[in-house]
Chain A
């Protein structure tokens, strides 16, 4: 028998050390995962039917534990109280009446993404694929249209670019197309640069909607007003993203870049009074990054990640009618709120 060369011995040693090290880490990580699940405090829960009977908020629960990521409901009267869990799990959701759009990540050897439309008993009535990670979703007030925004991610190692794709579907799953195929008008002229990007739809009715558009080459971001039937988009203001129309249609809330920290954009919320065109910026919301939901005509809701607990988020509320008001935690351990009256 030949004696193994020193190089081979060294290689075997490296293989053993690396395998042992990685193996130890994996076993430890799996162990602490089991421990976390087992020791997670059980989330106080209530009866779903009674929560749905009164005005309520539907959201994604992000409290640690077995129900992480599940759809939950709290009555508007006691948002921070016990929540009722629905039999559905979504990464981003929106509800109008009894229709819910549920954007989910379907984990697999290659991860897939899809939108499910759920009915009052959380059964899927329509489903269509998304081209990337769920980002935003809205449903028109009459429940007939569903808008979704997804990050389209590069799938080869050579591409790490992100762009967004925003589409509008009928609630029955009929595809009404991507906003990229709509005619965009900026400053009265058709805008056709190929790097147009759209995200964050907010419906006014079953035809008119607000959205965000941007073009890297023009180095511009616009707030847009669109029409589903005419397939048009018109820029009316620059520098706002993810618009959200108030219930009384008097205000438009959106996020706006206020500064750049270490190359990373910092947003804060702004509210535009549509009648006068005056914009009020709320600096207290700096660091936010969500599409606003209106609790009522004077209170906005938005999700924020907890800095010290990755994966856990809270929904905050801010009274915009009182100058100097501070944001308050509205629902702890929640994401993607939808107010259902």
Chain B
């Protein structure tokens, strides 16, 4: 596997951070109701607004990374905030404090995603960008699998060892932060791009100098670099955002898919809490192959086509009287969907926008998707109740079947454009 060392380092950062966060989220409900003796949570929801806010934070994170041209330090701030919430968990003793910490952690997660993906894009060969993202997402999901495992081992050895889980989680978060701070170079994508475009001293706004070579890439630009949101009006970017938003509107939460499996299938019901593990396992195995496939046949194609897997998952989940096989197929299809969309979208957005606005483009794409998915869950919740479980699922599947060909036609030109861009 020949991917940039920066991608591998960022992969390790994500792996450690995911061990940290997933270990906590695996035990948090038990901790709150069991160890804290707070069954006061008879009923409650975390505000939908909170999720909307993280969509916004993603955009802001991307913008800050472009604006300051130090994506590493924006990401560092995001990872740092999350690490601090782990330390906070060791001290927190009330439900409100814990909810606040989870919320702050999510803000950190939203903040770091776009700058991190911008760094992956900046340090990878454009021709194999999909693979780079795939490799990174594989590391990420491995961490997500190891976290709950570590938590389980601790609770098995120390039945009330929630604080031990939090200490381990905090340790992993600090290690992730250290790898990011010490092993990832402070990439300056905008400066590098500017220097690439302005090769002559004169263009760089520097005084003439006889005998100096003119391609000193390390030379600091003298001119001002301005940031503009104008890239959003470019037809290619607009198309991508529109299509990603539309498709995300038809992406209902996994929770609904699992619930609908659970209501009709003894196997899914028995293993309900394990269903997401199945999806994650498929995602983990498929992330890199799907990234490579995207590099070979076109990222827009893979991105749109992966929604066919989602469609398949809906159909599998809606079919009444399915068995173990259809449950396993649903999970595999969901994993395939994530493998073909998450990293691929970042690769698409990152390539489509120029290096100067890459973070913002990735952040905006992810923000659009996060916001639309939130709306989707909300709308689907209504359909779920008014139409019933299977009809609601079939309705979304039907809409998706209409939307995918439209998305395909809209995005197909992008692949050709990216290909000529890469060749140039």
A residues near B (Cβ < 8 Å) are: 7-8, 10-11, 14-15, 18-19, 21-22, 25-26, 29-30, 33, 105, 107-113, 128-129, 131-133, 135, 151, 153-164, 192-197, 199, 214, 216, 241-242, 262-265, 267, 289-290, 305, 310-311, 313
- B277 surroundings in chain A (CB, below 8 A): 109-110
Binds A, one of B125-133, B156-164, B199-207: B156-164
Binds A, one of B41-49, B227-235, B349-357, B403-411: B41-49
Q: Which of A8, A25, A110, A157 contacts B164 (CB 8 A)?
A: A25
Q: For the complex, give the distance between the alpha carbons of A241 and B29 in Å.
A: 21
Q: Is the CB of B171 within 8 A of A18?
A: yes
Q: Is the CB of A15 within 8 A of B175?
A: yes
Q: For the complex, give the distance between the alpha carbons of A129 and B274 in Å.
A: 12
Q: For the complex, give the distance between the alpha carbons of A26 and B167 in Å.
A: 8
> What is the size, in residues, of chain B's interface with A at 8 Å between Cβ atoms?
71
Q: For the complex, give the distance between the alpha carbons of A158 and B168 in Å.
A: 21
Sample 12 A-B pairs with CB under 8 A, ordered by A number.
A8-B183, A10-B182, A11-B183, A33-B160, A107-B156, A110-B26, A112-B273, A129-B269, A132-B29, A157-B109, A159-B253, A305-B37
- B255 surroundings in chain A (CB, below 8 A): 154-156, 159
Q: Is the CB of A161 within 8 A of B46?
A: yes
Q: Report the minimum CB–CB distance from A90 to chain B (whole Å).
A: 13
Given contacts A107-B156, A111-B273, contact A264 B96 (CB under 8 A): yes
Given contacts A11-B179, A30-B157, A110-B274, contact A164 B43 (CB under 8 A): yes
- B35 surroundings in chain A (CB, below 8 A): 310-311
- A157 surroundings in chain B (CB, below 8 A): 21-22, 25, 106, 109
- B385 surroundings in chain A (CB, below 8 A): 192-194, 196
Residue of A nearest to B382 (CB): A194
Q: Which residue, of A33, A110, A156, A192, has the highest number of chain B Cβ atoms within 10 A?
A: A110
- B183 surroundings in chain A (CB, below 8 A): 7-8, 11
Q: Is the CB of B381 within 8 A of A11?
A: no
- A241 surroundings in chain B (CB, below 8 A): 42
Q: Report the minimum CB–CB distance from B243 to chain A (whole Å).
A: 22
Enumerate the 8 nearest inter-chain pairs by beta-carbon distance, A residue then B residue, closest first: A305-B37, A194-B385, A22-B171, A153-B29, A14-B178, A161-B45, A7-B182, A29-B164
- B36 surroundings in chain A (CB, below 8 A): 310
Q: For the complex, give the distance between the alpha carbons of A10 and B182 in Å.
A: 8
Q: Is the CB of B102 within 8 A of A33?
A: no
Q: Report the minimum CB–CB distance from A322 to chain B (whole Å).
A: 28
Q: For the complex, give the distance between the alpha carbons of A278 and B338 in Å.
A: 56
Q: Let me know if B149 is at the binding interface, CB within 8 A.
A: yes
Q: For the complex, give the distance between the alpha carbons of A193 and B378 in Å.
A: 12
Q: A155-B255, A193-B385, A263-B96 are in contact. List 9 more A-B contacts (CB 8 A).
A: A15-B178, A29-B163, A109-B274, A110-B273, A129-B272, A156-B254, A164-B43, A194-B384, A264-B40
- A313 surroundings in chain B (CB, below 8 A): 37
- A105 surroundings in chain B (CB, below 8 A): 30, 34
Q: Is the CB of B44 within 8 A of A161?
A: yes
Residue of B nearest to A312 (CB): B37
Q: Let me know if B187 is at the binding interface, CB within 8 A.
A: no
Given contacts A133-B33, A135-B39, A162-B45, contact A11 B178 (CB under 8 A): yes
Q: Is the CB of B43 within 8 A of A131?
A: no
Q: Is the CB of A156 within 8 A of B276?
A: yes
Q: For the complex, give the distance between the alpha carbons of A208 and B301 in Å.
A: 57
Given contacts A26-B164, A109-B277, A192-B385, contact A214 B171 (CB under 8 A): no
Chain A binding surface SS class: mixed
Q: Is the CB of A199 within 8 A of B42?
A: yes
Q: Is the CB of A151 within 8 A of B33?
A: yes
Q: Report the minimum CB–CB distance from A305 to chain B (whole Å).
A: 3
Q: For the complex, give the distance between the alpha carbons of A193 and B35 in Å.
A: 34
- B residues 76-133 near A (Cβ < 8 Å) are 94-96, 99, 102, 106, 109
- B21 surroundings in chain A (CB, below 8 A): 157
Q: For the complex, give the distance between the alpha carbons of A310 and B384 in Å.
A: 40
Q: For the complex, give the distance between the alpha carbons of A159 and B160 in Å.
A: 24
Q: Is the CB of B152 within 8 A of A108?
A: yes
Residue of A nearest to B185 (CB): A7
- B residues 260-285 near A (Cβ < 8 Å) are 262, 269-277
Q: Which of A135, A162, A262 contacts B94 (CB 8 A)?
A: A262
- B382 surroundings in chain A (CB, below 8 A): 194
Q: Is the CB of A289 within 8 A of B273?
A: no
Q: For the complex, give the distance between the alpha carbons of A267 and B182 in Å.
A: 51
Q: Is the CB of B29 within 8 A of A151?
A: yes
Q: Report the minimum CB–CB distance from A101 to chain B (whole Å).
A: 17
Q: For the complex, give the distance between the alpha carbons of A107 and B270 in Å.
A: 14
Q: Report the minimum CB–CB distance from B214 to chain A (whole Å).
A: 31
Q: For the complex, give the distance between the alpha carbons of A267 and B40 in Å.
A: 9
Q: Is the CB of B274 within 8 A of A112?
A: yes
Q: Let me know if B326 is at the binding interface, CB within 8 A.
A: no
- A112 surroundings in chain B (CB, below 8 A): 270-274
Q: Which residue, of A132, A158, A267, has the highest number of chain B Cβ atoms within 10 A?
A: A158
Q: Let me know if B155 is at the binding interface, CB within 8 A.
A: yes
Q: Is the CB of B96 within 8 A of A262?
A: yes
- B167 surroundings in chain A (CB, below 8 A): 22, 25-26, 29
- B149 surroundings in chain A (CB, below 8 A): 109
Q: For the complex, give the distance between the alpha carbons of A100 and B94 in Å.
A: 33
Q: Report the minimum CB–CB distance from A282 to chain B (whole Å).
A: 18
Q: For the complex, give the distance between the alpha carbons of A10 and B180 in Å.
A: 12
- B40 surroundings in chain A (CB, below 8 A): 264-265, 267, 289
Q: Let me know if B61 is at the binding interface, CB within 8 A.
A: no
Q: For the complex, give the distance between the alpha carbons of A159 and B377 in Å.
A: 12
Q: Report the minimum CB–CB distance from B53 to chain A (whole Å).
A: 13
